[in-house]
Every structure is written in C-alpha cells, then in structure tokens.
Amino acid sequence: MPLHMMTPGSRNLIRKITGKLETKQFLEKLGFVPGEFVTVVSENCGNLIVNIKDSRVAISRDMALRIVV
Amino acid sequence: MKPLTIALAGNPNSGKTTLFNLLTGSNQYVGNWPGVTVEKKEGRLKKHKDVTLTDLPGIYSLSPYSPEEVVARTYLMEEKPQAIINIVDGTNLERNLYLTTQLLDLGLPVVVAVNMMDAVAKSGDKVDIGELSQRLQCPVAEISALKNTGIDRLVSLAVSAAQQAAAAVPVKLGQEVESVLTQVEEEALPQLPKEERRWYALKLLEKDSQATEKLALTQAQAEAAAAIAADFEAEQDDEAESVITTARYEAVTALLKGSHVKKDRHALTTSDKIDRVVTNRWLALPIFAVVMVLVYYISVSTVGAWVTDFTNDGLFGDGFFLMGNGRAAYEEKLEEYSTAQIYTEAFEQAAQDAGVNLEAGPLSQQARTLTAAAQFMGEDSPEPERTEQVTLAMYQQALTVAEPETGDFGTWVPGVPVVVGGWLESLQVAPWMQSLVVDGIIAGVGAVLGFVPQMFVLFLFLALLEACGYMARIAFILDRVFRRFGLSGKSFIPMLIGSGCSVPGIMASRTIENDRDRRMTITTTSFIPCGAKLPVIAMIGGALFGGPWWFTPMTYFIGVFAVILSGVLLKKTSRFRGDASPFVMELPAYRVPGAGIVLRSMWERGWSFIKKAGSVILLSSIFIWFISRFGVADGALRMLEDAQMDQSIAAKIGGLFAWLFIPLGFGDWQSSVATVMGLVAKENVVSTFGILFGFGEVSERGVEIWAALAQHYTAVSAMSLLLFNLLCAPCFAAIGAIRREMNSAPWTAFAVGYQTAFAYGVSLVFYQLALLLTGGAFTLWTAVALMALAGFGYLLLRPEPKGVPVGSAA
C-alpha cells in the first residue's frame, strides 16, 4: 500500500520505491530504501511528516504515493 | 608551510554553518558559486591563518541532481582541496554517513567530525568514536558545535591530515560491487592516478555522464565500461545506481553495528510530540497564524515602528531629545504654538477682509468686536476638523506665544541632515552641492536606512524561527496551498514582510532553496502593498471615493490576487515550467536556538542590506536627485526651485511617456511624472502631485490636493492610476534587492518587465471595461482591452504544457 494511506503513528516496512529514476534516487539518498522502517509522525492535507533513519522528513502526497509499504 | 585549503562538507541541518563560523570567526568572505545562486563562503582558520576553509553547500550525496550537489562535487574533483572535514549529525548517523562513504571514494584526505555529541549523550545513545574511526580508517573527532567542544582537536586532526596528504580509504561496498569496480578500473581507467580511479569507475557504472565527460576515454575504453555496466545491471536486474545506493546503506549499517548503540526508539521523541501538535491537521493553521501575528505585530507595529520612527524623524529628520528627556514638554509647547499660529492667521485674515487696521494706534471699536473663525484641519479629510471663534483678546494672547526652542527643554541632538546641512553651509559649499548631499544622498539613503532597525527586528525573528526548527514546519504546513499557484510554502514569509517593505521581503526569499520557487516569489512579492504605498492608497481613496473603510483592505486583496494570478500564469510559461519540484525536505529536530547563531544570522542579513544601501541605493539616489532637481529653465540646464518641478528632467521623461498611459485613462504628464517619481519611493507619488498641482509641500496623505485630484480624475481613471502604481515595478531599492537575490541581470529585467507589463494589462482592462460599463462608447481600445482579457484568460486556463523539464533553469 502507498505510504500516504498509513495512519499517523504507524511504523511500516518499505517494500518498494516506484517512479522515475531521478525521483527514486532522490528518495533513496534521503534514506527511503526498501527494507527500511518508516514511521508516519503527522499528516496535514495529504502531506506527511515521517521518521526515517532517525530523521524527520516532510514529503508531499505525490512523493508518498511512490513509497510502497 | 604552503597554504592549505580544507573543504567543509556535510548534510543540511548537520550544524555545518555553526561549525564554519566557529572555525573561522569573522574571517569570512561570502560570495556565490559560479553560475548558480548557491552561496559560497570561505574563511581562514582561527589560529591557522594560512589555512583556507571552504564551506560547501549542504548536501545529502554527491549525485548530479541539484545545483548544490553539482557545485560541491565539481569543487572537490577539480580544485582538489588538501583535506575534507565531513561534519555528520551524531543523532542521525545512518543517513549522514551515506555522504561520508561517497567522500571517502574521492581519493582525498577526510576527517569526520561527529557533531551534536551533547544531544547524543542526552538521548542515551552511545557512539564509540574510536571504533568508528578504526572502521572508517580515517580520523574521527567528536564535537558539539553548539556547545563549542572538541573543536581544537578537530582542527589539529584536519590540519595534520592536510599536511600528510594521505588519501582516505574507501568503504568497501560488498563483493559484487567491488569486483565490478575493479573490472572498470582496469579496463577503462588505467591512465588515471590510482586514488582517482575508484570515483570515476563508480561514475561510469552509474552512467553519470556529467562527471565522466572530462575523462576523454578512448572509444574502446568507453565501450568496455558500458559493456561491464550493462552486464552488471542484467545480473542484478536493477539500475547500477540503485544497486550502489543500497550497497552503501548496507555498508553504513555494517559500520555502525557495534560502534553505535541506540536506545529503543519506538517511543516518539519530544520533537515528534511537538510536531504532532504543531503540524496537526486542525491546529497547524491557527498556531501558525498566532505566531505570524505576533512576529508581525512586534516587528512592524511596536518595536520596529518605534525604532523606525526614531530613525526617520530623529536621526534622519530634524533631530531628537537625548533619552527622550524634555520631549513631552517640548511637544506641548509646540502644540500651543501651532494653535496660536492658527489663531493669529485667522484673526489677521478676518481683519484684512473687514478692512480693520490692527497695527497703527489705538484699536478701533470694530477691531475690538471682531471675531474670526479659526479652522483646524484634520489628517483624513479636506474639511476642517473643528472651528473656533477667535476674539481680539485671544489674538493678542496668541501673539505672545513664541516658537519653542528645542534647546530649552533637554539635550537636543540634531538629525544628520541638520548637522551636515549646517556644516556644509558654514563651509560655504555651493548650493547645488549642499542640495546633492542633503536632499539627494542623505534623504535617499536615509529613507531606506530608516527601515534598517525594523529589518533587524524582523531578521531576528526569522533567525529564531529558523534556528528553532519552526521555519521548516511553516513550509510544510503551507506547501499544499502555495504549491497550487507555483509558489512554495516558504513564500509566505517574504510576502508577509513585504507588506512592511518589499526590500527585506525580497531578501527573506533567500530561505527558499528551490531556484524556481525563489524566483517566482521574488517576482511577485512586491505586488503586496508595502508601507510606502499606503499614503498613495489613502490619497486616491480619500480624494475620489470618500475614504471608505474597505478601501485599503481592498488593495491588499488586489495584491494577493495579483500574486495568485501571476503564480498560475507564470507557472505555465517556459521560464518556470518543469516538473513541480518534489516537496521533500528534512525537518530538523526542534531545539533551543543558540544566541550566537541567531544574532549572527540576523547580522549577516541586515549588514548585506546596509551594504546595498551604500552602493546601489546611493547611486540611484544621486541619479534621481539630479533628474528631479535639474532641468532646462530659462534656456539653460540648471538647478530648479521646488515649484519648477514641472520643468525637471524627470518631468520631461514623464511627459515623454505620458502617451503610453492614455489607454489607461491617465495620459496627462502629471500622472506619469508622479508614477516615474514613484520609482524612487512610492510615497513620492503624493508629494509629486502636491508640487505638480501647485500646492508646494503637502501632508503625508496630501489632504490639500484632494479637491484638485477629484476634479482632475474620474473615479475610474484614478482607480486605474492606483492599480498601475500598486502593481508596476517597485522602487529602486526593491529593484536593487531583486537584482541581488536573483543574482542575474536577465532575471531582474524579466521580473521588473513582468511586473510592469502585468500592471499595464490590469489597468488597461480595468479602465476600458469600467468605461464601457459606465456607458462609454466602444472604441478601438475597448477591443484591445477585451483581447488582453482574453489573453490573460488563455494564459491562466491553458493546460500546463508538458515537455522539457526545466528544473533549475538558468
């Protein structure tokens, strides 16, 4: 399921990153790689704040769509 | 010892700027990296003056996808600093060490500085620095930039690494990647020095052509590399770049296993708890609104306004009482004196009208019984506020009231113009020179410098919001809203500040990282009416619309509307087109900001403004002074009296452009001169009208000329004039700020050109359609306006063109 459907507070294992190569690499260098756990901290109009590799990252809905958990 | 250069590299939010300031103190040079608007900072190490430290932009990796990354890696590969200090955030080692593994591949000496060790200790985590150093095979120092600990050791490690010049040992990326790397090195890169091969082998595998194009490989070598990469990808069933990224993360995980003990982190951190409230879907906007109202109220309405009034009226005005002693008494006397003046004038006028002689001999009976009506004018209306009957006794009493002398009430410090003016006069400097210095330079630069205190207060708040971590949340909260019209969540701050003055507003756009969003924000910020436009709004509203309460708020809505329209419209043009930049940003943990960091950031922004006032604004003040004070009168180019302003060069230029404004309904030369003078400072529009309509000096809102204006314009043409002045190119100071923040002449020209064209279009459409609706005839210009309206509509509603993504268009 795409990450944007996860409820705040949930901790999810990333299975796949989809989308264009450039987007994928952008997400990967921020730590969004398959096999990593991502926690949704907060949600605001579809934009998410998530916890990945001990740092908080804000991502838009379009980006969250590409992270499959 | 030969001069050394050390580069400072690290993730954004890793404390890099703080460390850089600690290491270099005030020995800094700030510029831009060539070709991009990425700030470049250099400085000399304290205690090691022969060592230059170059601050690289904050980056997550050395991939070629953002201008910051390209700048950093080009610098590292081509300039080859003698060493790299890699600062990593100790509370977030996994992500930060990703960049470290890339830096270690470059073949340069690397020293790792693990920052925020104080926060690590507090959270209960443990980092075994010795073990980490051994595994990375490079020196590792533990520091806290915020608390200023461990810095000396870091400096000595870095300097000795630079002197020994031993290339760092790369972190192994696993059997499969390593063997394919060796293969590429052997077959395609044997000609390179040994320590450079690995980096280029990686880049060849990743098909990063930007990094490898300078290698000048033979055709056979290039083909060999491509073949190896293709085989590798087929074998792994994935892009080589993804495989390498994953391998790096795995290597980092392995590095940290045993050297890094994390406390169980399933519970939310304090920072996360704050985020759950502050970025909550219901509370986020109200909390944001409260914070902004506070910031705005304190910096613009209270503290800022006090200090700014002092600067404008005191320092750059007549003068002020030291510590305010005696001011109240003086003002009371001054009030008394001006009342007396009004009495005397009214009574003498009445006497003259009645033919009564007040001067000679004993007063006649008629003089004794004469009364006069003294009118007290208000600020907001041409009607008198109150009328008093003045009798002879009151008149005689009034005659005895003397003008108060400032010196009698306390320690009076004269303002800069008074001091300099007096000084120039005592030296008997030529009158034109006195005028240049006092009316041109001091008035021009002073008008802008008057905003400095207010800006410092604003910048202080901005620095606080940034340092505590809330600024990043603002961007998050507002992003959804602003994204729709091509702006970023951070565009709000410039617009808010812009309602005080566009100059600091435009300068505040620097917090927007994305080039496209920043340029869009810079271009549209000055649509929001600034403080200097308010007198113009009040004048037109008062003179032609009877000053209704909704008039000024309406202009703010017009400004906001102009921003939204422009955003939607520009987003679709080729200059701003491209994939919407993905909104992904790291949110730093909330922390109590260090005073030094906040003050420094405030000072840097404020100082760069003051420097600009000293250059661009100084020059434009001189230029404007010249064209508005000189003109051809009596057959020769000479300096003019105030009343002769209609003969100045500025007036002639205005006259030249007047025809352009005919379709907008204000094609008379006065309007165009006032508009041109508005480029100096928008409040000049009012004073220019005062002079041009022959009233000499007028009050701030020009109450005196309201009647003349009401005759000169129709409601429609006045509104059109106001619209144009609200939206067209801002004052020179703001154009200077645009130039600085765009860091490009073509972009500045584009911004100013767009603003003016937009203003022209809006005024044209408004005027012509309003004429038509109020019963005017359908003319050629009506047709043009309708076409312009259709054009607007098309530009707004057309589908977003797909195609060449411009990304960070230059």
DSSP B11-52: -TTSSHHHHHHHHHTT-EEEEE-TTSS-EEEEEEETTEEEEE
Query: B722 and B666 in contact (C-beta within 8 Å)?
Result: no
Which candidate from B60, B93, B266 shows the least CB-CB separation from A29?
A: B60
Q: Do B279 and A42 touch (CB under 8 A)?
A: yes
Q: Check residues B612 and B217 and name the one with the higher pLDDT.
A: B217
Q: Do B586 and A42 touch (CB under 8 A)?
A: no
Q: Is the pLDDT of residue B42 over 80?
A: yes
Q: Do B584 and A57 touch (CB under 8 A)?
A: yes
Q: Find the Cα–Cα–Cα–Cα dihedral B272, B275, B276, B277, rounded to 10°.
A: 140
Q: What average pLDDT does this structure show over B331-350?
A: 85
pLDDT score at B592? 86
Write out residues 317-376 of B within 8 Å (CB-CB) of A: none
A30 Cα to chain B: minimum distance (Å)? 7
Query: Looking at B212-221, B408-417, B780-789, which range is the least confident one?
Result: B408-417
Q: Is the pLDDT of residue B789 over 60?
A: yes
Q: Do A42 and B242 touch (CB under 8 A)?
A: no
- What percentage of chain B reaches a pLDDT higher than 90? 24
Q: Do A54 and B284 touch (CB under 8 A)?
A: no
pLDDT score at B645? 67
Q: Do B281 and A59 touch (CB under 8 A)?
A: no
pLDDT score at B760? 95
Query: B151 and B224 in contact (C-beta within 8 Å)?
Result: no
Task: Using DSSP, state whether A59 is helix, strand or coil.
Answer: strand
Phi-psi map region of B634: left, alpha, beta (phi>0 left; psi -120 to 50 alpha): left
Query: B311 and B450 in contact (C-beta within 8 Å)?
Result: yes
What's the fold here for domain B175-255?
Helix Hairpins (1.10.287)
**Contact list, A52 vs chain B (CB under 8 Å):** 95
Task: Using DSSP, state whether B638 is helix, strand or coil.
Answer: strand
Q: Is the pLDDT of residue B391 over 90?
A: no
- Report domain extents, chain B: 4-164, 175-255, 327-408
Pairing of strands B636-639, B630-633: antiparallel
Q: Do A49 and B587 touch (CB under 8 A)?
A: yes
Cα distance between the two ends of chain A? 5
B540's tokens: 């037109």
B442 Cα to chain A: minimum distance (Å)? 47
Q: Is the pLDDT of residue B694 over 70?
A: no
A38 Cα to chain B: minimum distance (Å)? 11
Residues B27, B162: Cα–Cα separation, whole Å: 20
pLDDT score at B803? 47
Query: B249 and A32 in contact (C-beta within 8 Å)?
Result: no
Sign, CA dihedral B336-B337-B340-B346, equals negative
Q: CA distances (Å), B404 to each of B154, B175, B310, B410, in order?
A: 66, 91, 21, 12
**Contact list, B93 vs chain A (CB under 8 Å):** 54
Among the ranges B59-68, B278-287, B292-301, B624-633, which has the highest mean pLDDT value? Answer: B278-287
pLDDT score at B808? 36
Q: Do B92 and A54 touch (CB under 8 A)?
A: yes
Please give the interface size between A and B, counted as residue pairs whose CB atoms are below 8 Å apart: 117
Among the ranges B104-108, B145-149, B293-297, which has the highest mean pLDDT value? Answer: B104-108
Q: CA distances (Å), B284 to each of A12, B289, B439, in order?
A: 25, 9, 49
Q: What average pLDDT does this structure show over B405-433?
A: 79
Q: Check residues B379 and B759 and name the one with the higher pLDDT.
A: B759
* Whether B92 contacts chain A with CB within 8 A: yes
Q: Is the pLDDT of residue B807 over 60?
A: no
Helix ranges (DSSP H) in B313-415: 327-354, 365-369, 392-399
B412's tokens: 């009076």
Of the candidates B808, B725, B810, the one whose C-alpha atom is nearest the C-alpha of residue B760 is B725
Condensed to tens digits (0 to 9), the pLDDT of residues B616-656 reads 667 767 777 787 778 877 777 777 776 676 777 877 888 88
Angle of CA points B314, B319, B321, to nearest 5°: 90
B769's tokens: 């359609």
Q: Which CATH architecture has domain B4-164?
A: 3-Layer(aba) Sandwich (3.40)
B594 Cα to chain A: minimum distance (Å)? 21
Q: Is the pLDDT of residue B265 over 60?
A: no
Q: Do A41 and B472 touch (CB under 8 A)?
A: no
Q: What average pLDDT does this structure show over B716-744?
A: 89
The single-letter DSSP state of residue B490 is G
Query: A47 and A60 in contact (C-beta within 8 Å)?
Result: yes
Query: Looking at B472-481, B603-612, B743-752, which range is the least confident one?
Result: B603-612
Q: What average pLDDT does this structure show over B57-84?
A: 87
B181's tokens: 């790397």
Condensed to tens digits (0 to 9), the pLDDT of residues B555-592 reads 989 999 999 999 988 888 877 765 555 677 788 888 88
Sign, CA dihedral B527-B533-B538-B543, equals negative
**Contact list, B587 vs chain A (CB under 8 Å):** 49, 55-58
The ipTM estimated for the assembled molecules is: 0.88
A69 Cα to chain B: minimum distance (Å)? 17
Looking at this protein, which amino acid is placed at residue B494?
P
pLDDT score at B131? 92
Neighbours of B644 (CB within 10 A): 16
Q: Does domain A3-68 have CATH number 2.30.30.90?
A: yes
Which candidate from B61, B245, B479 shows the least CB-CB separation from A47?
A: B479
pLDDT score at B804? 44
Mean pLDDT of all residues belonging to chain B: 83
**Contact list, B92 vs chain A (CB under 8 Å):** 53-55
Q: What is the mean pLDDT of each run of 10 residues along chain A (69 residues)?
A: 82 85 79 87 82 85 85
Q: Is the pLDDT of residue B233 over 50?
A: yes
